[in-house]
Structure 1
Amino acid sequence: MTTELRVLRPSEWNEWFGSLELAFGGLAESPEERELWDALTEHERSIGIWDGSDVVGTAGAFSFRLAVPGGALVPAAGVTMVSVAATHRRRGLLTSMMRRQLDDVRALGEPLAVLTASEPAIYGRFGYGAATKQMSLEIDTDRVRLTVPDGTDGIRLRYAKPDEALTTIEGVYEQLVAGRPGAPAHGPGWERKAVLDPESARRGASPLQCVLAERDGGVVGYATFRNKPEWDAAGPKGRIVADDVSALDPAAYAALWRFLFEIDLTSTVEARNRPVDDALLHLVSDVRRCNITVRDSLYVRLVELGAALEARAYRAPVDVVFEVTDAFCPWNEGRWRLTADAKGGASCKRTDDPADLALSVRELGAAYLGGTSVDSLARAGRVRELRAGAVDEASLAFSSAVEPWLPRGF
């Protein structure tokens, strides 16, 4: 087989994207989605594999900054649109694209690459570790009540057209990004994705709706959602599907959820992507009737290990030497000494000192945002303690007061 791996040309985008659609089942994206992805695609960061005139592999990356513990926004490659044609599996095409892509990310000076995986088993061999989780809820609002904080009744709610509220929504989101490890800060154009509303996304529900929360004339939160009317012989049993609920303070947050819980003719509120430490869990009267499920979300790959570990803050002072294996990016292999003080400054440099912990770059990626403890990885046998106490020291230092979360996909 003779194939060619190269950068995507703008004129080839439709064919390239069509190959991606075919690999993911053959259902075409809506015209609105295609138009948006075409506009957002960074052609110079998108690669493909051609077998003759046929596209048989695709991979791309978006340039953005990722919030990390401590509030820094770190340059990251958002790996996306990865596929291999079913006719060309098990021929090393994915490995060749991952090799080319990580080399390019390194050349651009980005210390991190991140992705969401269609299947969890795919990307571990390339050094990606599962770093965040997302929680889904299906809440019986006939039986679950909310206890709201003082000030909730002082919040004014009003409907707004999602596309007209776009700038306002983004203003709230931008104020929240740095406080949530795992949240992406995107460039121009990405704000349109927050209100993208193709028919295929509705699943029988209404077009996207938006409510703004206001205090003293200023917007302090928003909710975007869909209403799915349903009826049976006993009457209405509609469903609210919450797309995004965000607020700058507890009262506004509670007011938005109370609004969603109390919409007429509905008895269920569904939310598909919430942080596992969502404050909503402390507002509900019966968490068991929230039907909670949790799954993996964002995967993190340290491309430049030293720069990545220096970019985040640590919750406690730490002085640990890692013995790191990284067969796919061998420039990361070897011993690294991580030191950080209580003021947040960190240093991660190569060293010949004896190792305290032995692990692969995959484990460092999993622990990087503070959502996976070094201790749990050690108990699974994926981190070896070579100095007594080193696991506890690293676990505390890497932990985050706020659970990492990917609020918006890419």
Structure 2
Amino acid sequence: MTTQVRTLHASEWDGWYGKLERAFGGVPESPEERGLFRDLTEIDRSIGVWDGAEVVGTAGAFSFQVSVPGGALLPAAGVTMVSVQATHRRRGLLTEMMRQQLDDVRSREEPLAVLTASEPAIYGRFGYGTATYQAQLRVETERVTLTLPDGTDGVRLRVVPPAEAVADCERVYAQLVAGRPGMLARQPGWERLPLLDPPGDREGAGELLCVLAEVAGEVRGYARYAVKPEWGSSGPDGTVRLRDLEALDPVVRAALWRYLLSVDLTSTLVSYNRPVDDPLLHMVSDIRRCGVQVREGLFLRPVEVGAALAGRTYAAPVDVVLDVRDAFCPWNEGRWRLSGDAKGASCERTTDAPDLALSVRELGAAYLGGTRLSALAAAGRVRELRPGALAEASDAFGSDVTPWLPHGF
């Protein structure tokens, strides 16, 4: 078999994307969704594998900025649209695309690469660690009450068409990005993603709605949702399907949750992506009635270890030598001295004796502060070489706010 891996030409996008759809089950996306991702695709960051005239593999990347502990926004390649046709599996094509892609990321001086995975088992061998988790909720709204902060009744709520509220919602979102690691600064065009609402994808629900929360005339929060009406033998049994909810303060957040849990003719609220430290879990009367399930969210790999570790701050003073293994990106191999605190950090090569030994995958998992190095050590994935170094580094890498990716890509 002779195959060729190369960058996509703009005229090839439709066939290339069609093969991606085939690899994910063959059901064509709606014209709205397909059109959005056609507009968002960065052609010069999209690659394919050709077997003759046939596309048999796809991969792409978006140019993102991701929030890291300390509030900085670091450049990150958002790896996406990865597929290999079933006829060409186990021939090294994925590895070849990952190789070309990470070399390109390095040439662009992006210290991080991030992705979401349809199959989480795939990407560990390429150095990606699970950096964020997300909570899925199924709240029995008729059996749960909320403890509300003072002032909740002073919040004004307005339901508006989502397209009319984009500017207000984006203004709220932008104010929150630096405060939670893992959030993506919204690049031009991405404000359209939360508005996607093809009728064929609603599965019996109504159109997407947006509720704005205002205080003294200022929009300080929003939620986008749809209602799926259902009726049982005892009456209405509808479901609120929450797409996203963001708020700038606890009072506004409480007002939005109270509204959503009180929508007429519904008994359930479902959300598939909330932070695992969502304040709602401390407002409800019975967490058992919230059906909480946790799954992985964002996978992250440092592409340039030194720049990545120096680009964030640390919750406690740290001075450790890390012995890093990275067979796929060998420029990261070796010993790195990380010195930092809440004000900043440096990370330089060193010949000093190592304090901790780990692979770049463990660094990716711990990088945003959502996974403790001590937990990885307990699983045998990090080795302590100097007594006390593990506790020091584990505390330093932590984040007071749990990292979270609000939406996929």
Would the TM-score normalized by the shorter structure come out above 0.5? Answer: yes
Deviation sequence 1:151-208 (CA, Å, 0-9, x none): 1100000011101111111111001111110001131111011111123432211111
Which residue of the partner structure matches residue 368 of structure 1? 367
Which residue of the partner structure matches residue 381 of structure 1? 380
Matched ranges for 1:6-405 at <5 A: 6-341=6-341, 343-405=342-404
Check whether the contact 2:304–2:332 (CA below 8 A) recurs between aligned residues.
Answer: yes
Distance in 2, Cα, partners of 1:201 & 1:159? 22
Q: 5+ unaligned residues in a row in structure 1: which ranges?
A: none
| SS at 1:17 equivalent | helix
- State the one-letter code of the partner of 1:207: E
| SS at 1:185 equivalent | coil
Distance in 1, Cα, partners of 2:404 & 2:89? 32
- State the one-letter code of the partner of 1:48: G
Distance in 2, Cα, partners of 1:17 & 1:49? 12
Check whether the contact 2:174–2:186 (CA below 8 A) recurs between aligned residues.
Answer: no
Distance in 1, Cα, partners of 2:272 & 2:180? 18
Check whether the contact 2:316–2:396 (CA below 8 A) recurs between aligned residues.
Answer: yes
Question: How many aligned residue pairs are there?
Answer: 409
Distance in 1, Cα, partners of 2:200 & 2:281? 30
Distance in 1, Cα, partners of 2:199 & 2:55? 28
Distance in 2, Cα, partners of 1:160 & 1:275? 25
Shift of 1:142: 0.9
Distance in 2, Cα, partners of 1:103 & 1:199? 41
Distance in 2, Cα, partners of 1:364 & 1:129? 7
| SS at 2:162 equivalent | coil
- State the one-letter code of the partner of 1:220: R
- State the one-letter code of the partner of 1:344: K
Check whether the contact 2:135–2:295 (CA below 8 A) recurs between aligned residues.
Answer: yes
- State the one-letter code of the partner of 1:405: W
Deviation sequence 1:327-363 (CA, Å, 0-9, x none): 000000000000013x421010000000000000000
Shift of 1:408: 1.4
- State the one-letter code of the partner of 1:210: C
Check whether the contact 2:45–2:61 (CA below 8 A) recurs between aligned residues.
Answer: yes
| SS at 2:81 equivalent | strand
Shift of 1:271: 1.0
Distance in 2, Cα, partners of 1:257 & 1:189? 28
| SS at 1:135 equivalent | strand
Distance in 1, Cα, partners of 2:208 & 2:201? 9
Distance in 2, Cα, partners of 1:184 & 1:88? 34
| SS at 1:359 equivalent | strand
Distance in 2, Cα, partners of 1:235 & 1:297? 37
- State the one-letter code of the partner of 1:390: A
Please tell me whether residue 408 in structure 1 is matched to residue 395 in structure 2.
no
Shift of 1:277: 0.3
Deviation sequence 1:371-410 (CA, Å, 0-9, x none): 0000000000000000001110010000000000000111
- State the one-letter code of the partner of 1:255: A
- State the one-letter code of the partner of 1:324: V
- State the one-letter code of the partner of 1:50: W
| SS at 1:12 equivalent | helix
Distance in 1, Cα, partners of 2:200 & 2:248? 31
Distance in 1, Cα, partners of 2:15 & 2:403? 36
| SS at 1:184 equivalent | coil
Check whether the contact 2:223–2:256 (CA below 8 A) recurs between aligned residues.
Answer: yes
With over 3 angstroms needed to count, the CA separation of the structure-2 counterparts of 1:200 and 1:327, relative to structure 1, is: farther
Distance in 2, Cα, partners of 1:13 & 1:186? 24
4+ residue segments displaced more than 2 Å: none
Distance in 1, Cα, partners of 2:314 & 2:208? 39
Distance in 1, Cα, partners of 2:308 & 2:186? 19
Percent identity over the alignment is 67
Distance in 2, Cα, partners of 1:186 & 1:97? 26
Distance in 2, Cα, partners of 1:311 & 1:344? 11
Distance in 1, Cα, partners of 2:210 & 2:375? 40
Distance in 2, Cα, partners of 1:182 & 1:54? 37
| SS at 1:113 equivalent | strand
Distance in 1, Cα, partners of 2:378 & 2:34? 45
Deviation sequence 1:256-291 (CA, Å, 0-9, x none): 010011111110011110000000001100001101
TM-score, normalization by structure 1: 0.99
